[in-house]
Structure 1
Amino acid sequence: MTAAVTEETTWHDWFKPLARLGYGARGLVYLVLAFFIVGAAFTTGTGGDSKDAVRFITQSTVGAVLTPLLIVSLAGYCLWRVVQAVFDTDDHGAKPAGLAVRAGLLGAAATYGFLLVYTVSLWWGSTISSGGGSGNEITSAAAAFIGAGPVSLILSTVFAVVGGAHIWKAARRKYRDHIQASEPVMRWIDVAAIGGLTARGLTFLVIAFLLFRHGIASGTEKASLEAALKFIAGLPLGSWLLGATGVGFFLFSIYSFAEAIWRRINVEDA
């Protein structure tokens, strides 16, 4: 009888599923956002932002099950983005373009880190006080930090670079370098990736513009996803543009779910 060969379990074995859950969590947030935005396009609203999507998920009927899973998934996504940026698992390199992409990965980790803390605050508050704890203290502290003029200008540059990178990634189909799927599946992923990345990139460029205007004028207007959607809704044919943004976010959610399944999580290169 041949003895079974057992391999030593490493941190790679549990980290990969955690990273894939992270992509799934991002997809879930953008899926809810897409429905909010498309609904708002028909009712002259603006659709809210990612915090509204998280609040909807956590306060839904299945929120008691979804919220802990969402917290773990967001944590996995943040950790994976940090690993990607610090250890350059996707070989972006140390040239200016590569460093910009890696800075964008760290920015994504920070953004979803805020969303993670907000989700925990909602879950903790509802656990203790049956619906209390809205996360207002966290949101106010973040708004005060971002509201500083120099910080707004720095963040404006970051969002502009990340937004441009999204559009470039969609135009050049660079996402294909990191997805391992059959060609028939890739053709469907192309539709979701190109539409989703372009919509998200354009939204980031709008946020960059609002942050720049805020930093120059030192005004009181917010520069957030909600503010960007409100800006889009105020443009000529705003309801149509808002609806197109919602469709783009829906495609981005599909792209995120595809990454959860077929994305190369090459954490061994870290």
Structure 2
Amino acid sequence: MATMDVMRGPGMDRLSRGAKEAANHPWAKKLGRMGYAAKGCVYAIIGVLALKLAAGEGGRATDSHGAVATVAQGPFGIVLLSLLAVGLVGYVVWRFAQAFADTEDKGSDAKGIATRAMYFVSGVIYGSLALFAVKTVVGSSQGKGKGTQGWTATLMEQPFGRVLVVLVGLGIIGFAVKQFHTAWKAKFREKLTLTGLAATHQHRVERVCQFGIAARGVVFTVIGGFLVLAGVDANPGEAKGLGEALAVVARQPAGDVLLGVVAAGLVAYAAYLFLQARYREL
């Protein structure tokens, strides 16, 4: 109880108010909007490359690091990648603001803390991607690091490592279920201000967003499922990242069709992120 009293003391209250004031600064919100747009660009590249693969027109199944590398290899690559890196840093800043300043008013109960912890983890993940983009810009990148299988192997080396891997996989599946629920209930509308659009356009926008969020849920279900298998079988090689999950979809019966649908969904998810950048309440 004494610890809780200290945490709720004047010092913590001032710190919380200071964090919220910083998060409410116009530049913080601009960084957040830039961040959503940058994340949208990453998913758009992943989705388009997967669509081209499904259509037999080149392309490939790749992940966010592959998307960053694709930007670097294109026309004006370094300039565009520099802009993307700035946007990704903005997304990291906003994720940490959501976690520490509680910009979404999630509160400090168990559910709120869990949600804010998820924001923090997302910030760390995209921080790694932003660092990769910066290193690529300055020419010091040595690849994308360990990858999913490498991190899975490292986790398995820890005490109760297999259990930890299974728990992470189940957590990812739980996140996927939340994505399906968000898509089904259209809960994203709570934060999108679409009053400037006609009612028919709002309806179409909502359907595109639902499709995109659900497609992302499918991909994360595959990723989580393979992590659970990797933990159960004590085989890090069974773990799959985003690009590998798309490749698994492509290998199924009628894989080209399935991959095309999922890829189109990822492009739709990118459109949802662009809408977040423009219309989200921050």
Question: Which TM-score bucket, shorter chain as reference?
Answer: 0.7 to 0.9
The aligned counterpart of 2:145 is 139
1:236 and 2:253 aligned: yes
Q: Deviations over 1:201-253 (max 9, x none)?
A: 11111100011111121212342001211221122221111000110011011
Amino acid at match of 2:279: W
Percent sequence identity is: 29
In structure 2, list runs of 5 or more residues that go unmatched: 1-20
Deviation at residue 38 of structure 1 after TM alignment: 0.6
The aligned counterpart of 2:216 is 200
Amino acid at match of 1:135: Q
Normalised by the length of structure 1, the TM-score is: 0.84
The aligned counterpart of 2:241 is 224
* 2-structure distance, mates of 1:135, 1:142: 16
Q: Deviations over 1:152-194 (max 9, x none)?
A: 2232133112211111111111101111121525323202210
Normalised by the length of structure 2, the TM-score is: 0.80
* 2-structure distance, mates of 1:80, 1:28: 17
Deviation at residue 124 of structure 1 after TM alignment: 1.8
Amino acid at match of 2:172: F
1:247 and 2:236 aligned: no
Q: CA contact under 8 A between 1:82 and 1:105: conserved in structure 2?
A: yes
CA root-mean-square deviation: 2.3
**Equivalent residue pairs, number:** 249
Find the residue that maps to 1:180 and give its secondary structure.
Answer: coil
In structure 1, list runs of 5 or more residues that go unmatched: 1-8, 126-132, 266-270
Q: CA contact under 8 A between 1:81 and 1:108: conserved in structure 2?
A: yes
* 2-structure distance, mates of 1:63, 1:155: 35
Find the residue that maps to 1:139 and give its secondary structure.
Answer: coil
Find the residue that maps to 2:145 and give its secondary structure.
Answer: helix
The aligned counterpart of 1:3 is none
The structure 2 residue matched to 1:92, chosen from 95, 106, 130, is: 106
The structure 2 residue matched to 1:117, chosen from 120, 131, 144, is: 131
Q: CA contact under 8 A between 1:159 and 1:207: conserved in structure 2?
A: yes
* 2-structure distance, mates of 1:116, 1:10: 22
Deviation at residue 259 of structure 1 after TM alignment: 0.6
Higher relative contact order (CA 8 A, sep 6+): 1
Deviation at residue 72 of structure 1 after TM alignment: 1.1
**Worse-superposed segment, 46-55 or 16-25:** 46-55
Shift in alpha-carbon separation, 1:225–1:118, aligned structure 2, 3 A: same
**Worse-superposed segment, 175-184 or 236-245:** 175-184
Q: Deviations over 1:1-52 (max 9, x none)?
A: xxxxxxxx97712111111000100111111111100111123975222111
